[in-house]
Amino acid sequence: QWRGVLNEYSDRLNISAATPIITLGEGGTPLIPAAALSARTGAKVWIKFEGMNPTGSFKDRGMTMAISKAMEDGAKAVICASTGNTSASAAAYATHAGITAAVLVPEGKIAMGKLSQAVAHNAQLLQVQGNFDDCLDIARDLATNYPVHLVNSVNPDRIEGQKTAAFEVVEVLGDAPDFQFVPVGNAGNYTAYFRGYSEEVARGATTKLPRMFGFQAAGSAPIVLGHRVDHPDTLASAIRIGNPASWDLALNAREQSDGYFGAITDAKILEAHRILSAEVGIFVEPASAIGVAGLLERAEAGFIPKGSTVVITVTGHGLKDPQWALRTADGSDVVPTIVPVDTAEIASVLGLA
């Protein structure tokens, strides 16, 4: 069986025999051809479905590394700030390791699925009366002044673990794609994919780097705007971040990969969210759909050559924040169809009769 990314890629990660391997089987996620998106764009589109990780997001790749290294350092408690998925993952891996996790989330801005996971995994969850950026400032202060180990993506172990997704793409495609699309909050994952692909080039496993295309929500797009956003706002709560922790690393990755950062409106995020679930059969939380929206926008604008190989990483499962599938385009609630226990009636409603 798949043994988790630290075991599967041990020779390409900075772990040693002294590193305890804390794993829930993360990684080895599906790379799924998206015929509907290929038809819409003329590219050859693949979806890297990171919702299939143990806690339902890509964060598990980084957390297995961060918690394993924390255990190696003798940590007894970990701390993180989170818009939700990092807290769910930190809580799961910490409890699996037998240590405690404290998580700081912006009050009232965490999706129900993620809140449920952090509580279920016995984290000390504090809702901070501020936004994610305030939470990260506090978490860094706590890790500096108290005996708690910081597991946010400012911790390089997280980037190390997350770069394994690029290894898996290359294994399946036999080369790097022409374009790699990702959502961008702190820009840790954008940075991690660039690092993973760069290492593949260095070891001769690929002929090229993909162009790294990252997307931020229009109401929360500091890298696109070129300045911090003090009051970020988007329904894509996972990427509601105004001061990205890996900003400089991401700009470097963009330069070196002839990459791009773009902003996408909430309406276009929801449109892509629906296309992905209704036409491809992949259910994601809204932030994860921004890469699909980004591809549709870039293709429409003529920047994606026909026949290009495109990988879009969708980062969190739709079950994290299922409410969005139950709203119609104009924001009203989907009305359930209620029928009597009567075959003829139902056949008629289904349009069979």
Footprint of ligand AN7 (CB under 6 A): 57, 82-86, 153, 183-190, 238-239, 285, 287-288, 315-316
Residues 84 and 305: their CA atoms lie apart, in Å, by: 36
Q: How far apart are CB 104 and ligand AN7 at their closest, in Å?
A: 10
Work out the number of other CB atoms within 10 angstroms of the CB of residue 10: 14
Complete edge-to-edge strand list for the sheet that includes strand 149-150: 124-128, 100-106, 77-81, 149-150
CA dihedral 118, 122, 123, 125 (to 10 degrees): 70
CB of 337 to ligand AN7, least distance (A): 31
- To ligand AN7, the closest distance from the beta carbon of 85 in angstroms equals 4
| Residue 297 C-beta: closest distance to ligand AN7, Å | 18
Neighbours of 180 (CB within 10 A): 29
In order, the DSSP letters of 258-294 are T-EEEEE-HHHHHHHHHHIIIII---B-GGGGHHHHH
Backbone angles phi, psi at 325, to 5 degrees: -75, -10
- Pairwise CA distance, residues 286 & 237, whole Å: 8
Whichever of 41 and 315 has its CB closer to ligand AN7, that residue is 315
Reduced to 3 states (helix: H, G, I; strand: E, B; else coil), residue 259 is coil
| Closest CB to ligand AN7 among residues 239, 275 | 239
**Which is closer to ligand AN7, CB of 79 or CB of 238?**
238
- The rounded distance, in Å, linking the Cα atoms of 113 and 135 is 20
Closest residue to ligand AN7 in the complex (CB): 316
Q: In this complex, which beta carbon is closest to ligand AN7, that of residue 44 or of residue 153?
A: 153
Give me the count of residues in the chain. 353
Residue 1 structure tokens: 């069986």
What is the distance of C-alpha 171 from the center of its chain? 20
CA distance 213 to 262: 8
Q: Which amino acid, one-letter code, is at 319? A: L
Q: Name the residue nearer to ligand AN7 (CB basis): 167 or 193.
A: 193
d(CA 346, CA 26): 43
Please state, in angstroms and rounded to a whole number, the distance separating the CA atoms of residues 89 and 81. Answer: 12
- In angstroms, what is the minimal distance from the CB of 216 to ligand AN7? 9
- Smallest separation, CB 198 to ligand AN7 (Å): 17
CB of 343 to ligand AN7, least distance (A): 42
The least distance separating ligand AN7 from the CB of residue 155, rounded to whole angstroms, comes to 12
Q: In the bound complex, what is the minimum distance in angstroms from residue 50's beta carbon to ligand AN7?
A: 8
Distance CA 179, CA 181 (A): 6
Q: Where are the alpha helices (DSSP H) in 74-231?
A: 85-97, 112-120, 132-145, 156-162, 164-173, 188-202, 222-225
Provide, rounded to whole angstroms, the least separation between the CB of residue 111 and ligand AN7. 9
Q: Which is nearer to ligand AN7, 44 or 254 (CB)?
A: 254
With respect to ligand AN7, which residue has the nearer C-beta, 64 or 288?
288
Of 22 and 135, which has the nearer Cβ to ligand AN7?
A: 135
Q: Which is nearer to ligand AN7, 4 or 316 (CB)?
A: 316
- Angstrom distance (rounded) from CA 156 to CA 269: 30
Q: In this complex, which beta carbon is closest to ligand AN7, that of residue 186 or of residue 308?
A: 186
